[in-house]
Structure formats: structure tokens, C-alpha cells
């Protein structure tokens, strides 16, 4: 593992130096590929919010979670159609659904664990899962995870988003897993509410439904520590 981490730091240094010479434009290439098949991948990328000179912005990586913690985190995630305040007053809240199918959890859990164990503080782990809709369209779920202060942050950039594959040009859905292909139309929730760190919300946010967010923060101490 020390040799792997040394290589990881070297790769990150090359990307940061490249960024400095290109006017600090966010890099479009990932720093390490953990897993890839024709429809899915897990990889490491530089965290957009990290300042290499400010350790207080770094993530707590590498991070070690148990298989059960990761599985519980993914299995407990829920999505619900986002409805603004006025719509909720008329129609109420939409039903919650699991964020991931069971086969997606099986695919992602071990690879996300590997990514967190290999990541350096300036990186996060991104994921991408797609399913074909027809010959030119696919359904995309993508985002990222990172650990900080004993908390697991989960970002959902796309959830079952239909993406029309262009006949030519840059394919954004695979190259930029943190990029929302369309406005996120779901709220990200967790089945055990006491596991979620509450967000600061104003009264107006709650009334008008502006508390909508594609990121959720889970308290790792409340997820099972038992290894699977």
C-alpha cells in the first residue's frame, strides 16, 4: 500500500502542476481508474473545492470503511421526486424509492471502498452507472463520495437521467460524472434520519422548497462497524 500511495501522490502532483500551467482550469482527466466496464466506472478525481495550499479544505483520505458500512450507506439512500413548497401543498410529498438497485450496490460497494483507501486528501471518489434505453440514449446515475471529519459525503449529480449520446463530439456523461446533465429532479434522503447530519435551512427554504440538494452527509459512527 505505501508504494501505491506514493504513485497516487505522484499522479496528483502531475495533475496539479498541469493545472498551474493552464491557468488553474479544472482538469478534465481523472487521476486514477479504480474500475471500468462498458457501462460503469469508479475512479479518483481532484476535489473541485480543494486548495492544495489549505489543509483545512482537504478530505480525510485515505479512508477505511467496512464493507457493511458502505453497503448500508448505499442501501439506505433514498430519492424522492423534488416538489417545491406550493406543489407540496397541493400534491403532498412524493414516495421515496431506493437510490440504487441491488445489482448496482453489488457493483459499486467494493470499488468505492477501494477508491477511498487509495485516495489522497485532494481527491474524491466518483462513480458512474448507466443502462441503455435505446440505440442512442442511456440512463445515467453518477456522482461522488468523500470522507471528512468522520462523515461520509455522498453527491448525486445525476439519477436515472436520460442522456442522448451525440453522433460526434465530447461525451459529457462519462467524462464528467460530477456534471449534472439536467437539473436534478429528486431529493436525496436516507432511510434512518438520525444518521444524516442536518443542514442549515431558513424558514423560507422550507416553505418554498429551496432546500433541494444533491448532497447528503452521513455520520459514519451510526453505520455498522461490523465487517462483511
For residues 145 and 126, what is the distance between their CA atoms, to the nearest angstrom?
6
186 exposure class (CB count in 10 Å sphere: 0-12, 13-18, 19+): buried
Q: How many of the other CB atoms lie within 10 Å of CB of 162? A: 13
What's the pLDDT tens digit per position in 96-106? 999 999 999 99
Comparing 93 with 66, the larger pLDDT belongs to 66
C-alpha cell at 70: 458502505
**Helix intervals (H) in the chain:** 2-21, 67-76, 85-91, 102-118, 172-175, 203-208
pLDDT over 60 (residue 162): yes
| First-to-final CA distance of the chain | 21
What's the pLDDT tens digit per position in 53-92? 999 999 999 999 999 999 999 999 999 987 665 555 555 5
DSSP 8-state class, residue 149: T
pLDDT over 70 (residue 155): yes
pLDDT over 50 (residue 164): yes
pLDDT over 70 (residue 147): yes
**Helix intervals (H) in 64-219:** 67-76, 85-91, 102-118, 172-175, 203-208
What's the pLDDT tens digit per position in 10-45? 444 454 444 444 444 444 568 899 999 999 999 999
pLDDT value, residue 111: 98
Average pLDDT of span 154-166? 93
Residue-range domain boundaries for the chain: 30-222
Place of cell 504513485: 7
What's the pLDDT tens digit per position in 165-210? 887 766 788 999 999 999 898 999 999 989 999 876 544 444 444 4
For residues 83 and 93, what is the distance between their CA atoms, to the nearest angstrom?
7
pLDDT value, residue 84: 60
Three-class secondary structure of residue 185 per DSSP: coil
For residues 160 and 131, what is the distance between their CA atoms, to the nearest angstrom?
9
Amino acid at each position: 500500500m505505501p508504494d501505491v500511495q506514493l504513485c497516487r501522490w505522484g499522479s496528483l502532483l502531475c495533475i496539479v502542476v498541469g493545472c498551474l500551467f493552464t491557468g488553474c482550469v479544472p482538469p478534465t482527466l481523472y487521476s486514477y481508474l479504480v474500475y471500468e466496464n462498458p457501462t460503469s466506472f469508479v475512479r479518483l478525481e481532484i476535489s473541485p473545492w480543494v486548495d492544495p495550499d489549505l489543509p483545512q479544505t482537504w478530505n480525510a483520505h485515505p479512508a477505511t470503511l467496512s464493507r457493511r458500512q458502505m453497503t448500508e450507506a448505499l442501501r439506505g439512500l433514498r430519492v424522492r421526486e423534488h416538489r417545491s413548497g406550493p406543489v407540496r401543498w397541493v400534491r403532498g410529498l412524493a414516495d421515496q424509492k431506493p437510490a440504487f438497485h441491488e445489482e448496482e450496490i453489488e457493483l459499486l460497494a467494493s470499488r468505492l471502498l477501494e477508491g477511498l483507501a487509495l485516495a489522497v486528501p485532494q481527491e474524491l471518489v466518483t462513480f458512474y452507472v448507466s443502462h441503455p434505453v435505446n440505440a442512442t440514449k442511456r440512463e445515467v446515475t453518477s456522482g461522488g463520495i468523500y470522507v471528512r471529519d468522520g462523515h461520509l459525503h455522498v453527491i448525486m449529480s445525476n439519477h436515472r437521467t436520460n442522456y442522448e449520446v451525440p453522433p460526434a463530439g465530447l461525451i459529457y456523461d462519462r467524462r464528467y460524472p460530477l456534471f449534472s446533465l439536467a437539473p436534478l429532479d429528486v431529493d436525496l434522503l436516507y432511510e434512518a434520519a438520525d444518521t444524516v447530519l442536518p443542514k442549515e435551512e431558513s424558514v423560507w427554504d422550507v416553505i418554498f422548497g429551496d432546500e433541494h440538494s444533491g448532497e447528503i452527509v452521513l455520520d459514519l459512527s451510526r453505520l455498522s462497524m461490523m465487517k462483511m
